[in-house]
Amino acid sequence: ELKYLKPYNGSMGLMLETTADLPAHAKSPSKDPKKRLRVIRYAGSLRIPFTTGILVGIGESWDDRIESLSKIAELHERYGHIQEVIIQGFSPKKGTAMENHPCPSPTELLECVRIAREQLPEDVVVQIPPNLVPMEMLPEFIKAGASDVGGISEITPDYINPEAPWPSVSELRRAVGSVRERLCIHPKYVLLGWYGKKVEHLVKELAGEDGLVAQSF
């Protein structure tokens, strides 16, 4: 499937979430860590720029988080394809088995970002979703090592977390200063030409010489 989809994509992604076997995943066979690591490894063998990440606060320990980041780092060191790692906090949803499970605190997520930046290779970007942490803390997350806020939209909601609206571009500017738009494929891989051939014309049309979108916000 990855080989079939590669020509039509700039990048792909799959959250590892954790390497631990947890009750939270007991009824989700597709979230088996071994299966997810295998998919990430296959993507590397196909030179697909890949986004992954960990989900914080689903019953894993600090050691589990460190091991998860270590596995991601190992795969990148072998294949060089991990473009970014998302540090995302669990957000409980009504009507689910974990609706009363607590969310991780912002300071806990901040520490996860610090650890991720220490463990991951320098060329792997650390992302923090800006709608899932307090806006006033974004500068702290950036100082800790996050340098990407993922995709935001003034048209579509966060379908996974619709209760948490995206910040606007102007709000991001006020919080962190200058921001630049990127494609779904990070600049390094734009310059390496790792995008699918069926979308090559789009990448070349939209990307500037530095691999970011040609016109900044």
pLDDT band with cut points at 50, 70 and 90 for residue 217: very low
Q: From start to end of the chain, where are the E strands?
A: 12-13, 50-56, 82-89, 125-127
Domain ranges of the chain: 2-178
Residues 6+ apart with CB under 8 A from 1: none
pLDDT confidence of residue 154: 86
R_g over Cα of the chain:
17
Distance CA 74, CA 178 (A): 32
Task: Please write the tens of the pLDDT for every residue from 1-43.
Answer: 999 999 999 999 999 999 999 999 998 999 999 999 999 999 9
pLDDT confidence of residue 215: 75
Distance CA 81, CA 4 (A): 18
Mean pLDDT of the chain: 95
pTM of the model: 0.95
Mean pLDDT, residues 194-203 taken together: 97
With contact defined as beta carbons under 8 Å apart, do 206 and 184 qualify?
A: no
Mean pLDDT, residues 44-59 taken together: 98
- Asked if pLDDT for residue 73 goes beyond 60, the answer is yes
Task: Please write the tens of the pLDDT for every residue from 142-188.
Answer: 999 999 999 898 899 999 999 999 999 999 999 998 899 999 999 99
CA torsion 106→141→17→155, rounded to 10°?
Answer: 90
Would you tell me which CATH number, out of the four given (3.20.20.100, 3.20.20.70, 3.20.20.105, 3.40.140.10), belongs to the domain 2-178? 3.20.20.70
Q: 65: which 2 tokens?
A: 């988080």
